[in-house]
Amino acid sequence: MKKKRVGGILSALILATVTSCASSGALQNQDLLKQSSLDIRQHRLSEAQAILDRLRTTLPDNPAVWNNLATVAFLQKNYPLALAMMDNALSLRPTNPDLRMNKARLLLAMGHNESARILLRRMIRLRPWPKGYRILLAIAEKRTGHREASRILFEEMIANHPDDTLAQKYLSSFSAPDNNIPPSGPKTTP
């Protein structure tokens, strides 16, 4: 009998939570935004797109909506649309370092390496640097022929994080002549 009572109490709490969330438009929109992020992570892009299309009209000034729209377009390989959505996000928060880094990632994926490098170099005065900033800058530096700057950044990353396999992979590519593409990874022996 106690089990039923506890279950009934939990059900009432869950119902009260759901009801209070539904009555608050702002909270409901935030829940939908979180759901769109979850859908993106689980590669349910059509579900995320449907939510984001709704949020685009209810939260047009929220850069996270535009960022998520850019992510969906990117994952669908619609790079021009992804870039337009990211520019919308940045128009709302032009100095946001996370949005800038996402745009740099997009530019690197599109092969616009110099544009990505310029964007990242404009962020160099930020302290502390956002997570992932150094590796993006190092990759952009390398792809644009600034090998020494890139090498120094990779060496700093490895000095601070010796187990960083991505930085190790990129740094090891400097030893191969005229190799701009990192090797497939460390070789293991059976």
Same domain, 143 and 114: yes
pLDDT in tens, 78-105: 999 999 999 999 999 999 999 999 999 9
Instruction: Check whether 187 has a pLDDT greater than 50.
Output: no
**77 and 108, same domain (yes or no):** no
Which of 94, 116, 149 corresponds to the end of one domain?
94
Q: Does 15 map to a domain?
A: no
- Residue 176, pLDDT above cutoff 90: no
177 belongs to a structural domain:
yes
In CATH, what number is assigned to the domain containing residue 51?
1.25.40.10
* Residue 128: per-residue pLDDT: 78
DSSP string, 1-33: -HHHHHHHHHHHHHHHHHHHHHH-HHHHHHHHH
Domain encompassing residue 130: 97-184
Q: Is 83 in the same domain as 131?
A: no
In a domain, 38, yes or no: yes
Q: Are 138 and 169 in contact (CB under 8 A)?
A: no
| pLDDT > 80? residue 77 | yes
The answer to whether residues 117 and 73 belong to one domain is: no
The percent of residues in the chain predicted with pLDDT above 70, rounded, is: 78
Alpha-carbon span 64 to 145, nearest angstrom:
33
pLDDT of amino acid 90: 97
- Tell me what pLDDT residue 186 has: 33
Same domain as 140, residue 102? yes
Q: Tell whether 137 is covered by a domain.
A: yes
Q: Is residue 125 part of a domain?
A: yes
Answer yes or no: is 2 within a domain.
no
> Do residues 107 and 89 both lie within one domain?
no
Choosing from 57, 79, 94, the residue where a domain stops is: 94
pLDDT at position 26 is 65
pLDDT of residue 7: 42
Cα-based angle 107, 111, 116 (whole degrees, multiple of 5) = 35
CA quadruple 149, 151, 153, 159: dihedral sign: negative
Q: Which pLDDT score is estimated for 2?
A: 47
As a whole number, the mean pLDDT across the chain is 82
Number of domains in the chain: 2
Asked if residue 72 and residue 44 are part of one domain, the reply reads: yes
* Amino acid in position 81: L
Q: Note the pLDDT of residue 73.
A: 96
